[in-house]
Amino acid sequence: MNTALTEEQQMIQDTARQFAQNELLPNAAKLDQGDGQDILLNNLKQLAELGFMGLSINGEYGGTEAGSVAFSLAITEIAKGCASTAVTTSVTNMVAEVIQAVGNEEQKQKYIPKICSGEYPAAGFCLTEVEAGSDPAGMKTSAIKDGDEYILNGSKMFITSAEYAGVFVVWAVTDATAKKGKGISCFLVENGTPGLIVGPAEHKMGQKASATNEVRFEDCRIPASALMGKENDGFRVAVAELAGGRIGIGSLAVGIGLAAMDYARDYISQRKQFDQELSKFQGLQWILADRYTDLEAARLLLMNAACLKEQGQAFSKQASMAKLFASEKANIACYDALQMLGGYGYIKEYPLERLTRDVRITSIYEGTSEIQRIVIARELLKEIA
Ligand SMILES: Cc1cc2nc3c(=O)[nH]c(=O)nc-3n(C[C@H](O)[C@H](O)[C@H](O)COP(=O)(O)OP(=O)(O)OC[C@H]3O[C@@H](n4cnc5c(N)ncnc54)[C@H](O)[C@@H]3O)c2cc1C
């Protein structure tokens, strides 16, 4: 793996950093109050205009064609400014990639340019259900063929951006008699389709500006042409595409962890106790050293997974390792950074309180840490089989 960035990757990182520091960070606390949807939508529009909604998408569909390393770098920088904006950007990129990977030409031409250009503020990934979270193959949402249509019935849980997503990739059971995971298909469903009902936003611990909604299907009729890829081959697609999404979430976690540590490092360099700056105490210096080392290692794991993905090689094990490590180390970084601010870390006026809440979900969504360990162990055991 070559860790030196190309000129293009460097430019994308710099652009994302500038945008995040100038446009996202000043509003992050306001967005956290949960009343800044206009600001979020404006952020998303601007990010699309800068080319951040289709970083690994081919130019012919309006994408940036910059690749997974650039995607990872961009998400980390965006997350340093606003985690809610970062998760929306990450999931939207993932949906565009699913369509590029398995959609037919008509589907690609119809939907991807709207995602990349910002005509759709975001796109949604509908996999999880109330009774099928870590085990999505156990889903119950059904898609029954009726002439040249499918009828969707069921409910998807915790769907990021559902309120403002223009289009959803939806997984549903098309053959209830098939073995587990073998009778699931993947569809493109436009928001606003009759029978698709978006529930109210969940009240969350963190990343509050990113809406998380239930999406229900009640006799929702979609054309047969909405099927993506082959019928009953959808679960394989979900598993493959989630691996790419995990690079996004790991990168997001690193961004939050770095934002927390950078703030704490500046703070302890100013704050005096016992007649000297806190940064003079070795007890705190070692925490700084350990946490920045963790985050750097996480960044390198992410780069490795992203490089493999760009080269078209297997990267699922590496993506799970990177997501597991990055999200858990970023949680520890936020905890320690808050501790370094003492009582002030606990007060809303300072960003650590928000960052510590924002980071918590990164070891849960797009596969919990336990599920990442299952994926890693499965791949390791396959290697010797
Ligand atoms: C804010 C937010 C946004 C989300 N966005 C989306 C989205 O856009 N699209 C989408 O489809 N989903 C989304 N999700 C869903 C998310 O991916 C799931 O919540 C997650 O995969 C875990 O599923 P669950 O919540 O049902 O937990 P469960 O599966 O019930 O797990 C509960 C606990 O049991 C553990 N566990 C489960 N199975 C095992 C096992 N075999 N071995 C050891 N431990 C195990 C889990 O790790 C976890 O700790 C989102 C969730 C949240 C909270």
Question: Do 114 and 143 sit in the same domain of this protein?
Answer: no
- Residue labelled with tokens 């009774």: 131
pLDDT at 34 over 90: no
CA angle 208, 213, 218 (to 5 degrees): 170
Q: How far apart are CA 143 and CA 176, in angstroms?
A: 10
How many Å lie between the centroid of ligand 1 and the Cα of residue 280? 42
For ligand 1, say whether the CB of 159 is within 6 Å of any of its atoms. yes
Kindly state the percentage of the chain with pLDDT values over 70: 100
Provide the pLDDT for residue 385.
Answer: 81
Residues 376 and 290 occupy one common structural domain: yes
Report how far ligand 1's centroid is from the alpha carbon of 62 (Å).
32
Evaluate whether residue 130 is within a structural domain.
yes
Q: Mapped to the 3 state alphabet, what secondary structure does the chain carry?
A: CCCCCCHHHHHHHHHHHHHHHHHHHHHHHHHHCCCCHHHHHHHHHHHHHCCCCCCCCCHHHCCCCCCHHHHHHHHHHHHHHCHHHHHHHHHHHHHHHHHHHHCCHHHHHHHHHHHHHCCCCEEEEECCECCECCCHHHCCCEEEEECCEEEEEEEEEEEECCCCEEEEEEEEECCCCCCCCCCEEEEEEECCCCCEEEEEECCCCCCCCCCEEEEEEEEEEEEHHHEECCCCEHHHHHHHHHHHHHHHHHHHHHHHHHHHHHHHHHHHHHCEECCEEHHHCHHHHHHHHHHHHHHHHHHHHHHHHHHHHHCCCCCHHHHHHHHHHHHHHHHHHHHHHHHHCHHHHHCCCCCHHHHHHHHHHHHCCCCCHHHHHHHHHHHHHHHHC
Domain check: are 40 and 90 in the same one? yes
Token readout for 210 is 């990113």
Shared domain for 142 and 115, answered yes or no, is: no
Mean pLDDT over residues 377-384, rounded?
A: 95
pLDDT digits (tens, 9 = 90+) for 121-132: 999 999 999 999
pLDDT on residue 135: 97
Residue 60 inside a domain? The answer is: yes
pLDDT of residue 35: 76
Q: Given a cut of 80, is residue 239 above it in pLDDT?
A: yes
Q: What is the pLDDT of residue 2?
A: 78
Of 99, 122, 145, the residue at which a domain comes to its end is: 122
Across the chain, mean pLDDT equals 97
Q: Select from 32, 88, 95, 128 the residue to mutate for testing ligand 1; criterion: most ligand atoms less than 8 Å from CB.
A: 128
Residue where a domain terminates, one of 58, 88, 122: 122
pLDDT at 359 over 80: yes
Per-residue pLDDT at 209 exceeds 80? yes
CATH of the domain at 293: 1.20.140.10
* Residue at a domain's end among 234, 262, 288: 234
Q: State the closest ligand 1 atom to the C-alpha of 366, by its place in the atom list counted from 1.
A: 17
The rounded Å distance from CA 368 to ligand 1 centre is: 6
Assess if residue 115 is contained within a domain: yes
Residue 355 domain-assigned (yes or no)? yes
Residue 2 located in a structural domain: no
**250 and 360 share one domain:** yes
202 in ligand 1 pocket by Cβ < 6 Å?
A: no
Question: Ligand 1 centroid to 288 CA: how many Å?
Answer: 31
The answer as to whether 183 is a domain residue is yes
pLDDT, position 141: 98
pLDDT digits (tens, 9 = 90+) for 132-186: 999 999 999 999 999 999 999 999 999 999 999 999 999 999 999 999 999 999 9
Do 143 and 15 fall into the same domain?
Answer: no
Does 268 share its domain with 226? no
Q: Are 118 and 276 contacting, i.e. CB atoms less than 8 angstroms apart?
A: no
Tens of pLDDT, residue by residue over 301-348, are: 999 999 999 999 999 999 999 999 999 999 999 999 999 999 999 999
Confidence of residue 36 (pLDDT cuts 50, 70, 90): confident
Parallel, antiparallel, or unpaired for β 165-173 and 122-126? parallel
Would you say residue 189 lies in a domain? yes
What predicted TM-score, i.e. pTM, was given to this entire model? 0.98
Catalytic entry in 190, 328, 366, 383 = 366
Q: Ligand 1 in contact with 368 (CB < 6 A)?
A: yes
Among 91, 90, 110, 93, smallest CA distance to 188 is for 110
87 lines ligand 1 (CB under 6 A): no
Q: Is 338's C-beta closer than 6 angstroms to any atom of ligand 1?
A: no
Question: Is the same domain home to 373 and 283?
Answer: yes
The residue assigned the tokens 């012919």 is: 60
- Structural domain including 93 reads 7-122
Q: Note the pLDDT of residue 324.
A: 98
- What backbone torsions phi and psi does residue 177 show, to the nearest 5 degrees? -90, -10
Q: Is the torsion defined by CA of 362, 6, 318, 261 positive or negative? A: negative
Together in a domain, 252 and 373 = yes
pLDDT number for residue 354: 98
Look up residue 116 and give its two tokens.
């990349």
Are the beta carbons of 298 and 356 closer than 8 angstroms? no
- CATH number for the domain spanning 153: value is 2.40.110.10
Residues 201 and 224 in one domain: yes
Contact of 375 with 367, CB cutoff 8 Å: yes
Annotated active-site residue 218? The verdict is no
Structural domain count, the chain: 3
Ligand 1 touching residue 120 (CB < 6 A): no
- At residue 3, the pLDDT reads 82
Residue 3 CA to ligand 1 centre (angstroms): 32
| Structure confidence at residue 111 as a pLDDT band (50, 70, 90) | very high
Residue 239 lies in a domain: no
Same structural domain, 302 and 254 = yes
Average of per-residue pLDDT across 337-366? 98
Q: Are residues 375 and 253 in the same domain?
A: yes
pLDDT band at 1 (very low <50, low <70, confident <90, very high): confident
| pLDDT digits 0-9 by tens, 21-33 | 999 999 999 999 8
Q: How far apart (Å, rounded) are the C-alpha atoms in residues 385 and 381?
A: 6
The answer to whether 217 touches 190, Cβ cutoff 8 Å, is: no
Contact 129, 158 (CB under 8 A): no
Binding site membership of 373 for ligand 1 (Cβ less than 6 Å): no
Q: Are 98 and 111 in contact (CB under 8 A)?
A: no
Residues 114, 115, 119, 125, Cα dihedral to 10°: 120
